[in-house]
């Protein structure tokens, strides 16, 4: 089936749908508003988010615009293995923060950002590198989500792309601005319930409307041999492997994840992240199957735009009421991520920039809140403006993932190894980013010795990734053995071959370079660090500034209004 046009709602209908969603979300947040907000509640809800809300918030945050469009594109491009490659590795990004997250919380139980921990460990330069990477990542995420909203509104109604971008941006800002992170996690819970309910209806409805299992099997003839192969090398090397490489990068570098890590009640970290892993994987793999269905039908994306695949399938096979539900589904998913990005950006500016570098620990909580809200307003405006550029989602994700990949080893090692120095952290990240750009944009000839040089660095990077993953769950010995075996395998099979896949080569180079430089520089130093001092340097801003008392332990802090701990 090839639709020449998509079903369109009237302008009034779309406006009413948007008003119903954003108006309802805004009214939901009124119940938790306070006349005088607390800075720590605004950033991390006093570290007392319960299991249910925490898991729902993590799942809703991670299901964003790319989860719809890129997952469907993956299924359409790579066939039967496409949805797995997108959904499974995305789910692992949530899972792999857990083992390292326990260490982060133990070292800095009162932190609001990972940057605060790094500031206490190293100082401003390393912290600001981490903060800058998060600011860049969250701005790009905002841009992507607002772009998706504009595209959806423009294809399903007479309203323009710009109108959709502005409405979504203003709508998200209005319900997040006053209560910050508390508003984000509360609305995430409601949005996830709606998202799951709608997805459970829409995905099977499309499947059976197109003919069910019989039609799907018959349509497999439209697939190439690579697309029918569950272990397709094309899918693995062009999508699966680059996404697998990004697993640790996004887990460690993404403030929306670490913010929830520091917000969830410490006793509930494990079940929260395990539940979110399963929930995300199930929903996104299901969404990716819609792209696979389009492929089996021989459908061509409208105007050659892969982002039209899901709207085409829904529009072509379902009645208007289901299309309206789909509209709310996408708006809800991108809004839940956009409000998390606003909360993450505000926390970075409040804690990392103002708290640690401007006020230098002598904070005014009300001024801190003002910084957070001004950050939200500025970020929304920037996101709306940059959304008009309509840049490629997957290319941007890979680039930011590489930036985060360069900081993975320095961040993790800084929390376990007392020899890592601030200079080693900073220099290793900068050198890694330079070499990533050289490899990614092929600034040197990769066909000769230059290619071999980068393949050797990438092999180290592959060993580091496997080693860190094994270390997180099984300890130092297993991690060292797994990393060594992975390095040997990479040296045998990747040299002379990996240079043909520049995205994967460059991403692995970022890991390998930062690790090599960081280790060499740290071993050459005689500095040692006392990890017990971190907790003393990272406290609750509101308590320390207003009461001038020792920072309360997480279990002594009052629960945020409307977000009572679930025991």
Question: What predicted TM-score, i.e. pTM, was given to this entire model?
Answer: 0.88
Residue 241 has a pLDDT of: 86
* Residue 391 clears pLDDT 90, i.e. is over it: no
Q: Summarize the confidence of residues 16-39 as an average pLDDT.
A: 90
**Tally of CB atoms within 10 A around 85:** 25
| Cβ contacts of 504 within 8 Å, gap of 6 or more | 237, 241, 242, 245, 458, 498
Average pLDDT, the chain: 87
Cα–Cα distance list, 452 to 437, 561, 567 (Å): 16, 57, 55
| Between residues 339 and 65, the one the model is more confident about | 339
Contact 181, 559 (CB under 8 A): no
The sign of the CA dihedral 443, 447, 453, 454 is positive
* Residue 560 clears pLDDT 60, i.e. is over it: no
Q: Summarize the confidence of residues 528-554 as an average pLDDT.
A: 67
Distance in angstroms (rounded) separating the CA atoms of residues 54 and 263: 8
Left, alpha or beta for 564 (phi > 0: left; psi -120 to 50: alpha)? beta
DSSP 158-200: SS-HHHHHHHHHHHHHHHHTTTTHHHHHHHHHHHHHHHHHHHH
Q: Where are the beta strands (DSSP E) in 435-476?
A: none
Domain ranges of the chain: 50-391, 405-540
* Residue 174 clears pLDDT 60, i.e. is over it: yes
* Residue 499 clears pLDDT 50, i.e. is over it: yes
Q: If you ran DSSP here, which 8-state letter would residue 334 be given?
A: H
Contact 496, 453 (CB under 8 A): no
* Residue 45 clears pLDDT 50, i.e. is over it: yes
Distance in angstroms (rounded) separating the CA atoms of residues 410 and 94: 20
Contact 269, 261 (CB under 8 A): yes
Residue 556 has a pLDDT of: 31
User: Which pair of structure tokens corresponds to residue 238?
Assistant: 């062009």
Give the chain's largest Cα–Cα span: 71
| Between residues 290 and 197, the one the model is more confident about | 290
Residue 399 has a pLDDT of: 65
| Between residues 450 and 400, the one the model is more confident about | 450
- Per the listing, tokens 């990972």 go with 114
Q: Which of 141, 140, 160 is nearest to 150 (CA)?
A: 160
| Cβ contacts of 11 within 8 Å, gap of 6 or more | 157, 158, 159
Residue 316 has a pLDDT of: 85
Over the stretch 210-268, which tens digit does the pLDDT of each residue have? Answer: 888 888 888 888 889 999 998 898 888 888 888 888 788 888 888 898 999 999 998 89
Distance in angstroms (rounded) separating the CA atoms of residues 68 and 208: 20
Residue 261 has a pLDDT of: 92
| In the chain, % of residues over pLDDT 70 | 92
- For helices 124-156 and 241-253, the axis angle rounded to 10 degrees is 120
Assigned fold of 50-391:
Sodium/glucose cotransporter (1.20.1730)
Residue 216 has a pLDDT of: 81
Over the stretch 326-369, which tens digit does the pLDDT of each residue have? Answer: 899 889 989 999 999 999 999 999 999 999 889 876 889 889 99
Contact 495, 479 (CB under 8 A): no
């Amino acid at each position: 089936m090839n639709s020449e046009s998509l079903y369109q709602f009237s302008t009034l209908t779309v406006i009413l749908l948007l008003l119903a969603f954003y108006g309802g979300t805004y009214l939901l947040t009124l119940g938790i508003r306070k006349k005088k907000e607390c800075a720590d509640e605004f950033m991390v809800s006093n570290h007392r988010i319960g299991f249910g809300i925490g898991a729902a918030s993590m799942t809703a945050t991670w299901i964003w615009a790319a989860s719809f469009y890129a997952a469907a594109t993956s299924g359409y491009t790579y066939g039967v293995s496409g949805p797995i490659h997108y959904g499974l590795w995305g789910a692992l990004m949530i899972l792999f923060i857990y083992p390292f997250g326990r260490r982060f919380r133990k070292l800095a139980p009162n932190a609001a950002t990972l940057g605060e921990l790094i500031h206490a460990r190293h100082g401003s330069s390393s912290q600001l590198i981490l903060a800058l990477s998060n600011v860049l990542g969250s701005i790009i995420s905002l841009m992507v989500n607002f772009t998706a909203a504009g595209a959806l509104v423009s294809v399903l109604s007479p309203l323009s792309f710009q109108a959709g971008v502005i409405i979504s941006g203003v709508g998200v800002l209005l319900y997040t601005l006053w209560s910050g992170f508390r508003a984000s996690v509360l609305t995430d819970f409601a949005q996830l319930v709606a998202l799951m309910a709608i997805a459970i209806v829409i995905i099977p409805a499309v499947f059976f409307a197109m003919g069910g299992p019989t039609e799907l099997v018959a349509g497999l003839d439209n697939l190439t041999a690579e697309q029918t192969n569950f272990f397709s090398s094309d899918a693995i090397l062009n999508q699966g492997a680059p996404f697998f490489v990004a697993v640790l990068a996004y887990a460690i570098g993404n403030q929306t994840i670490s913010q929830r890590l520091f917000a969830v009640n410490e006793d509930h970290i494990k079940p929260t992240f395990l539940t979110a892993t399963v929930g995300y994987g199930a929903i996104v793999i299901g969404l990716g199957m819609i792209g696979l269905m389009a492929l089996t039908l021989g459908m061509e994306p409208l105007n050659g735009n892969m982002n039209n695949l899901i709207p085409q399938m829904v529009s072509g096979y379902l009645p208007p009421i289901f299309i309206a539900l789909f509209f709310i589904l996408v708006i809800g998913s991108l809004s839940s991520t956009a409000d998390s990005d606003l909360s993450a950006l505000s926390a970075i500016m409040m804690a990392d920039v103002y708290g640690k570098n401007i006020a230098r620990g002598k904070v005014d909580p009300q001024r801190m809140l003002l910084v957070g809200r001004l950050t939200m307003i500025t970020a929304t405006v920037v996101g709306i403006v940059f959304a008009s550029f309509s840049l490629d989602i997957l290319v941007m994700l890979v680039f930011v993932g590489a930036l985060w990949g360069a900081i993975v080893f320095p961040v993790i090692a800084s929390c376990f190894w007392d020899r890592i120095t601030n200079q080693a952290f900073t220099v290793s990240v900068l050198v890694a980013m330079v070499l990533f750009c050289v490899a990614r944009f092929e600034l040197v000839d990769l066909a000769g010795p230059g290619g071999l040089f980068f393949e050797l660095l990438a092999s180290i990077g592959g060993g580091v990734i496997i080693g860190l993953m094994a270390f997180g769950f099984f300890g130092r010995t297993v991690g060292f053995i797994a990393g060594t075996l992975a390095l040997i395998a990479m040296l045998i099979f990747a040299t002379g071959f990996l240079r043909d896949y520049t995205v994967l080569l460059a991403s692995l180079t970022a890991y390998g370079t930062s690790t090599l430089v960081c280790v060499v520089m740290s071993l050459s130093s005689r500095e040692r660090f006392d990890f017990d001092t971190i907790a003393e340097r990272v406290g609750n801003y509101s308590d320390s500034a207003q009461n001038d008392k020792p920072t309360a332990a997480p279990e002594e802090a009052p629960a945020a209004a409307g977000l009572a701990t679930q025991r």
